[in-house]
Amino acid sequence: MTASAIERYPDLSGSLEAGYTLPAAWYTEEAVFALEKRRIFAHTWQFAGLVETLPHPGDFFTYRAGDVPIVILRDAEGKLRAFINVCRHRGSELVLEEHGCKQSIQCHYHAWTYGLDGRLRAAPGSKAEPNFDPDEFSLMPAQLDTWGPFIFVNPDRDAPPLAEILGDLPAMVAATGLRLDDLRRRTGSEYDIAANWKIVTDNYLECYHCPVAHPGFSSLINVNEYTVTEYEYFSVQTAAVRASARQKGGQYSITGEVDEGFYAYVWPNFTLNIYPGPGNLSLNLFLPQGVGRTRAVFDYLFVPDVTDGDVAEFGAFIDQVQREDSVLCESVQRGMRSGHFEQGRLMLSRENGLRHFQRLVHRALTG
Ligand code: FES
Ligand SMILES: [Fe+2]
């Protein structure tokens, strides 16, 4: 058997430090993707959805952390809980719907039925089993925590708490003047991108491409003067609004109180973006669907006094930028697969955010 792309590059630390990227094979080989699901997505905190989508007891939605299906729900006492969404009988995935409301969870295979607390309430025929103790077959919990309106889950029950990963980020977001509790989701969009999740993340982490690839965005934001600051598990890009963008009408124009764009990436697949202008927040979740496929899920939240017209304009503005980004990411995936590209070379004054991210990937896969 040929060695996997991980074994072929036994020590990348030096070249990553020097500004070289992860090898192309790390973006294209099934074995690497399988390892990422086990080493990264099965053990990290991931944004799964918004608290506002679960107002009532029994409300639920499902999420997939790599290969780990998770159901997130509000229990009868009003507490948010997350469970591994796998039946304890014979391992069927349990809740198949994306979201809904139910007061108990019944498996579609043999009708084992669990309460919203995860305990097994009924299993047809179990009375005839002399040594059957339902308490041994509660749903397995996953970790759940919230930050303002955001629900995060982690399939790994031994992982360190969410607060350790977020570090100073909540304080930094608060310092922008945006009050998270005032925000409500107004709209969103989804994109299927024929590229590895790391290409989509790499693309998010620099604005070196903005003047070339995003003329609309670059007419609003001063893309030549952005900075990327690295923290342990997140990084933040900030960029000032162009003076001309404040006066201009038409397209998406900047008229609100926030002057600087604030774009945070949180390990492994979440970003949180505050655009200059009236109180807004857009969330991007990059969900790996296959070694060369990613679903990007965007939610747009606003303070209540933002008009529907402004929400629609904002959505159209982001949609344009994302369509441009999807073309870029898909072309990189084709280049990575060509067999004629091994490691890229970053411009570290502009692309240091990629090195920060790729170090985290490297550490997770080889540590
Ligand atoms: S696998 Fe769920 S009841 Fe049998
Ligand atoms: Fe972009």
Residue 252 clears pLDDT 60, i.e. is over it: no
Nearest to 283 by CA among 357, 183, 162, 144: 183
Check pLDDT > 80 for residue 247. no
Helix, strand, coil percentages, rounded to 5, for the chain: 35, 30, 35
pLDDT the model gives residue 244: 63
Mutational test site, ligand 1, from 109, 126, 138, max ligand atoms within 8 Å of CB: 109
Whether the per-residue pLDDT at 255 is higher than 70: the answer is no
Residue with CA nearest ligand 1 atom 3: 110
Compute the mean pLDDT over every residue in the chain, rounded to the nearest whole number.
93
Give the mutation target among 85, 95, 96, 112 for probing the ligand 1 site: most ligand atoms within 8 A of CB.
112
* Residue 213 in tokens: 């690839």
Closest of 49, 271, 65, 278 to residue 169, by C-alpha = 271
- Kindly report which listed range (20-24, 65-69, 239-243) carries the lowest average pLDDT score: 239-243
What is the CA(110)–ligand 1 centre distance, in A? 5
Q: Other C-beta atoms within 10 Å of 235: how many? A: 24
Give the model's confidence band at 216: pLDDT under 50 very low, under 70 low, under 90 confident, else very high.
confident
- Please determine, for residue 267, whether its predicted confidence score (pLDDT) is greater than 60: yes
Tell me the C-alpha distance between 124 and 128, whole Å: 9
- The pLDDT of residue 103 is 98
In whole angstroms, give the CA distance from residue 34 to residue 235.
26
Q: Does residue 90 line the site of ligand 1, with CB under 6 A?
A: yes
Angle between helices 348-366 and 197-204 (to 10 degrees): 150
User: 185: pLDDT confidence band, cut at 50, 70 and 90?
Assistant: very high
User: At which residue do the structure tokens 């997140």 appear?
Assistant: 234
Q: Cβ distance 269 to 285 under 8 Å?
A: yes
What's the pTM value of the predicted model, to 2 decimals? 0.95
Establish whether residue 106 lines the binding site of ligand 1, counting it when its CB lies within 6 angstroms of any ligand atom: no
Position 275 scores a pLDDT of: 86
Q: Check residue 360 and give its pLDDT.
A: 98
Q: Tell me the percentage of the chain whose pLDDT exceeds 70.
A: 95
DSSP 291: T
pLDDT over 70 (residue 254) = no
| Dist. CA 195–CA 328, nearest whole Å | 9
> What CA–CA distance (Å, rounded) separates 337 from 326?
17
For residue 170, cis peptide bond before it (omega within 30 degrees of 0) = no
For position 171, what pLDDT does the model report? 96
pLDDT band, very low/low/confident/very high, at 322 (cuts 50, 70, 90): very high
Average pLDDT over residues 331-337: 98
Domains and CATH numbers, the chain: 46-162 (2.102.10.10), 167-341 (3.90.380.10)
Q: What is the mean pLDDT of residues 208-231?
A: 88
Q: What are the pLDDT digits (tens) for 98-147?
A: 999 999 999 999 999 999 999 999 999 999 999 999 999 999 999 999 99
List pLDDT tens digits, range 26-61: 999 999 999 999 999 999 999 999 999 999 999 999
158 token code pair? 């031994």
DSSP reduced 3-state for 106 = strand
Both tokens of 296, joined, read 């990007």
94 alpha carbon, distance to own chain's centre: 23
Could you tell me the pLDDT band of residue 224, with boundaries at 50, 70 and 90?
A: confident
Q: How many CB atoms lie within 10 A of CB 170?
A: 14
List Cβ neighbours of 132 (8 Å cut-off, separation of 6 or more): 123, 126
Strand (E) or helix (H) holding 59: strand 59-65
**Three-state secondary-structure class, residue 334:** helix
